[in-house]
Every structure is written in structure tokens, then in C-alpha cells.
A and B are shown apart, each in its own frame.
Chain A
Amino acid sequence: MGRLWQGGRAPAGDQGMHMITFDDVSKRYPDGTVAVDGLTLHAPTGEITVLVGPSGCGKTTSLRMVNRMVDATGGRILLDGVDVRTVDPPTLRRGIGYVIQQAGLFPHRKIVDNVATVPYLLGWDRKRARARAMELLERVGLDAGLAGRYPFQLSGGQQQRVGVARALAADPPVLLMDEPFSAVDPIVRASLQDELLRLQSELNKTIVFVTHDIDEAIKLGDRVAVLRVGGRLAQLASPAELLAEPADDFVREFLGRDRGIRRLSFVPGDGLRLRTDLTVPVSAEAASVRGTAEPWLAVVDGEGRPLGWVAREDLPDSGTLAGVPAAPYGAFVRERDSLRSALDAALLSPSGNALAVDGAGRVEGVVTRDELDAALARAAGGARG
């Protein structure tokens, strides 16, 4: 019983081509250890498929079978329809980007030459390879001045960016990433994750990403494959589905706490109804708004940017609102952020309401607690269905 969870709804994009197919793949070592057991899974073209699981679940082994750093003992792996075992390993690998945990940069080569590694191997001339490397350094957000340095002169986060640039150098359609961000601190990790998502939105590579961190899997994956010890697939689903409907206790436990809250990250916030009558400009006369029935009003500056919340009972008899101390506020970008961000914004405001802003930070309106309640109820209902 290798496949416990193949069913469920096909995530969006599943109809397209499968760049990578694992077809009943196993890896059994001579000593009898089974690292991967009957893994069947598709990594759709242009999507990020995350393999996640505890140590010993065979996720890294599975990844390495794609570029033949490990050879499968059973089943087949197809890359763009071709069985990888029919391709000579060095040739196969030059066509697949690979990023590993500690970046694996060559300490004796300058950054630019590190990035140009695969182009050199493919026989590009030096000038073209270096030009390409410079282009990629910029692409991953590194200063061109770093090109002439050696890896040890860079921070861990910068090295990891170089690792990503190097993997992309020959423009391979497929990227394999083996816990690439686990060796850096959480803040740098978050920015590298954001960077990867930004790059992916421009490049649309087929990415297989291995991690032991379920939060990372949920943040990055279009699809997440949860593997259990012994190399069996426990569940393959989109992050939202995974959070809503874990296939079994193992997956539920692996997902950890706050599953409900985390699932809200996948509920878009742009469906929330806005109230536009709770916003007042800071230049308004206090007296003119004292008659309101609302306990809290959102004050905005001349540009429409939020300044804070003002309580009705604090309003003075005269003068503008500029003299009134404003309470802190939370805001979310309506066109981009999730229901979770909206809820978070509401929890940051003493009024209990969230400010919805546009991409430029101007207030579009207020999401009240009642509206949030309704949205949360809808989200919970969706989880059941």
C-alpha cells in the first residue's frame, strides 16, 4: 500500500504537462533499508512541488533520484517524458538546476565564476558565461560589486542567493532545491523565500523543493507532498487543502498547531465588504464628527494614508482631529493579502476593525469585526465542504 492518498481534488494547474513524473519509484539499499517506497507523484510544469516530511522520510533521496545522484532501484522517473536512467548523468545534471543547503559554492572561485559554473561546463565562452552570470546576480538581488569576491566574503544569505543564481545560470527548465534555506536565520530565510516566489513568478520553473519545515512547505508549495518515514507518500495536496483536510493523523500531527488560523492565509481578503463611512480626514473639525454613532473612526492624512483610530469619547469640542491622540491600527492590502492578514490587522487595532489599504498604502475602507466574523464563518464552512 504505497499510495495512501492519490485522490482528492486535483489542484489547479494539474491539467497541464508533468515535467517530472515519479512512477512507483523505490530505493532499497543493499542492507535492506528502504528509503523510498513506491512513490508515485507528478511535479507539474511551472509549479513548485514541495516534498516535506520528518527526517528519514526519503525526501532528499527522492530529489536526488531525479538528477541521478542516487539511482532508483524500482520504478521510473520521467523528466519531460524521458526516463532519466537513459541519460548520461553529467549531461542530465547540466540541464537541471540544483541548490543545496549550505549553497555549496566553490570557495576557490570568485562569485561570478561560481555562477557561471554550468555555462562553463556546457562550453560557453568565458565572456558570454560571465555576462550571463552578472545578469543572474542582478536577478537574485545581489550587488554587481560582489561578483569579484570569494564566497567566504559573503554572508550566509548572500551565499544562498548566489547558489540560486548558479542553479539558474544555464536557464534549466527544472530546479531541484534541497533544504536550501534551512541553514540561515529565520529573518533571512523569510526574505529568501519571498525572493524565490518573486523569481518563480517571473521564471515559471518546474521546482521540486525539499524541506522538513511544514510552514515553509505551505508558504512555497503550489502542491505539497507529505512523506512519512520509510519513504511513503502520506498526502499530496495544495497547501489550503492540506490544512483543511489532512488525510490522516500523521499528516494532522505533522501540520502542527493553529491549522485553522494558518489556513486563513489561503482565503483571499479581497472579498471582504468595506465600509467607507468610518474614515475621516485629519483636517476635519472635531465638532463635525462628534455626532457619529460609531465608537471608533479611522483618521487619514491628506494623501489618504492611515494615521490611527480615534475614539468618539476622546473628541474635543473644537479644533481639528490633528490634536487628538490616535490609537494604533492594523492594515492589510486588500488586493493582495489574505483573510489571515485582515484578521491580524483587526487584532492590532483597539477598535477591533481592520483597515483595508490599496497597493500605495491609501485607505480603501474599513473591515468591521462583524464582517470579519461573517468571513471567518464562510471560511470554516468551506473547510467542511
Chain B
Amino acid sequence: MGEEPLVRWDWIGRNWPEILELAADNLVMALVPVAVALLAALPLGLAGARWRWFYQPTVGVVNVVYSLPSLAVFIVLIPVTGLATRTTVMVPLVFYAMAVLIPAVVDGLASVPDHVRQSAVAMGFTPLRRLLGVELPIAVPVVLAGLRVATVSSISLVSVGALVGRGGLGYLFIDGWQRQFPTPIIAGIVLVVLLAGLADLLLVLAQRWLTPWSAARVAARAQARPAAGERKGAA
């Protein structure tokens, strides 16, 4: 009785080009919605931070869309955007990412200390210059934290699209399940996790590079804990 191995490497080897193609498709369908959502979340978040009355309804609408079962959304979209198209999969993902990113922008702007904002006003910043030069840069760490969550979940959510024929690596799950063949399923899971991990790592590096003042602060805090006596920098 020939024991079936959990992973058949020869299958992976034979189907590697297709797998890579699925991974690339998965990545595009995950990242484009996040980018679109970020572009939309910035003005909406700015408006929400400025006018509180605007914030709750906006988040409410986005959250309602977020709560809809994705399959239901796909079915509604198919007549408009077509079956098995990228657009059908990406539209709900834009809303999912927005549900994370709008609060992130609002929280990021709220993280600007009042005395910093006041001193910017007192130095003679115009409102636009204050926003671009002081408030948004200080909001970056909080926004990036939201962006990491949105990106990672978007990469894994794409696979749901396999139900309507376009799910990136999600295709491997359907394929493996239909054929009672675990290799594609495992390959799909590993690749989704790898892609998500890689994207997250890149965002962490971007954060280090964009906000050295914030990364250094975290490092200083971590350093201060074990050896309180020799805190670097805090002269």
C-alpha cells in the first residue's frame, strides 16, 4: 500500500510557472485595492479628523460594506464587472482596506500632540503647510500600522475570489479540495503566508526609513528596559 506523501514536490516542480502566475495575480489583486483605499482614506480621514460629524457616518458606511459576506458582494458585482475578473475581486477589497485605513488616518492625526500643533500655529505655519509639514508626517507611524494590517489581510482575502473563478493562490485550494489532493492546498497556504510576511517586512523597513524618529524611539524604549542605567541618547 503506497503511502501518499503530504507534499508531492514533483507536482510543484511541474506546475511552478502556473503557481508563480497565480501568486503574481494574487499580489496585484491584493495591493491595488490597498493603494486605492489609501488614496481614498487620506482625504476621508482628513475630513473625519477635522469634522467629527463626518467621521462616524463615513466609517459606518464602510463598516456596513465590510460586514457584507464577500460572496454576496461578488454575486451583486458580477453583472457589472463580470465573472472571474480582477475588478470583481478587488472592489470589495478596497472597502475592506478602507475600513482599516480611514480610522488609521484619523487616529494618526489625533496622535499629533496638542502642544505640537499649537506651536506649529504659533510659529506661523499656514494650515496647508502645517498639515503637510507637521501633522501628516507625525501621523505616519499610526497610518503605516494600519497599512500593514490592511495589506496582510488583503493578500489572504484575495483567495475568496476563487469562488467566483478569480482568487489568485485561492485557486490552488479549490483545485486541491476538488481532487482530494493536499499538495496544492499546502503550497497555496505557504505562498500566501510568505507573500503576506514579505509585504509586511517591506512595510516595516519603509517605516524605519520614513520615520527614524519613531523607530529610534521604540528601540530606545526596548533598550531602556533591560539596562535602565545606560540609556543611549537620553543625555
B-binding residues in A (CB < 8 A): 67, 69, 89-96, 98, 100-109, 117-118, 121, 146, 149-155, 158, 163, 166, 176
Q: A108-B137, A152-B220 are in contact. Are A94 and B123 (CB under 8 A)?
A: yes
Q: Is the CB of B124 within 8 A of A155?
A: no
Kindly list 15 other residue pairs between chains A and B, CB separation below 8 angstroms, not including A104-B113, A104-B119, A154-B235: A89-B124, A90-B126, A91-B124, A93-B121, A104-B120, A106-B116, A106-B120, A108-B137, A108-B211, A121-B123, A150-B212, A150-B216, A152-B213, A155-B234, A176-B122
> Which residues from 110 to 146 on chain B have a C-beta closer than 8 Å to any C-beta of chain A?
113, 115-116, 118-126, 129, 134, 137-138, 140
> Is B233 an interface residue, CB under 8 A from the partner?
yes
Interface size of B as a range:
20 to 34
Q: A100-B115, A104-B115 are in contact. Are A93 and B123 (CB under 8 A)?
A: yes
> A107 CB to closest chain B CB, in angstroms?
6
What residues of chain A lie closer than 8 Å to B233, measured between beta carbons? 149, 153
What residues of chain B lie closer than 8 Å to A109, measured between beta carbons? 213
> B230 CB to closest chain A CB, in angstroms?
14
Q: A146-B235, A153-B234 are in contact. Are A90 and B124 (CB under 8 A)?
A: yes
Q: Is the CB of B125 within 8 A of A100?
A: no
What residues of chain B lie closer than 8 Å to A117, measured between beta carbons? 123
Q: A108-B213, A150-B213 are in contact. Are A94 and B124 (CB under 8 A)?
A: yes
Q: How far is the CA of A105 from the CA of B112 in the complex (A)?
A: 11
A-B contact pairs, 26 of them (CB 8 A): A69-B118, A69-B121, A92-B124, A94-B123, A98-B122, A100-B119, A100-B122, A103-B119, A104-B122, A106-B134, A107-B138, A107-B213, A107-B214, A108-B138, A108-B213, A118-B123, A118-B124, A121-B124, A149-B233, A150-B212, A152-B216, A153-B220, A154-B234, A155-B234, A155-B235, A158-B235
Interface string of B194-223 (1 = CB under 8 A from A): 000000000000000001111011001000
Q: How far is the CA of A89 from the CA of B113 in the complex (A)?
A: 22
A-binding residues in B (CB < 8 A): 113, 115-116, 118-126, 129, 134, 137-138, 140, 211-214, 216-217, 220, 233-235
Q: How far is the CA of A103 from the CA of B115 in the complex (A)?
A: 8
What residues of chain B lie closer than 8 Å to A154, measured between beta carbons? 234-235
A-B contact count, CB below 8 Å? 88
Q: How far is the CA of A180 from the CA of B115 in the complex (A)?
A: 12
Q: Is the CB of B216 within 8 A of A93?
A: no
> A144 CB to closest chain B CB, in angstroms?
13
What residues of chain A lie closer than 8 Å to B115, measured between beta carbons? 100-104
Q: Is the CB of B116 within 8 A of A121?
A: no
> A152 CB to closest chain B CB, in angstroms?
5
What residues of chain A lie closer than 8 Å to B113, measured between beta carbons? 102, 104, 107
> A174 CB to closest chain B CB, in angstroms?
12
Q: How far is the CA of A118 from the CA of B233 in the complex (A)?
A: 26
> B148 CB to closest chain A CB, in angstroms?
19
Q: Is the CB of A105 within 8 A of B125?
A: no
What residues of chain A lie closer than 8 Å to B123, measured between beta carbons? 93-94, 98, 117-118, 121, 166
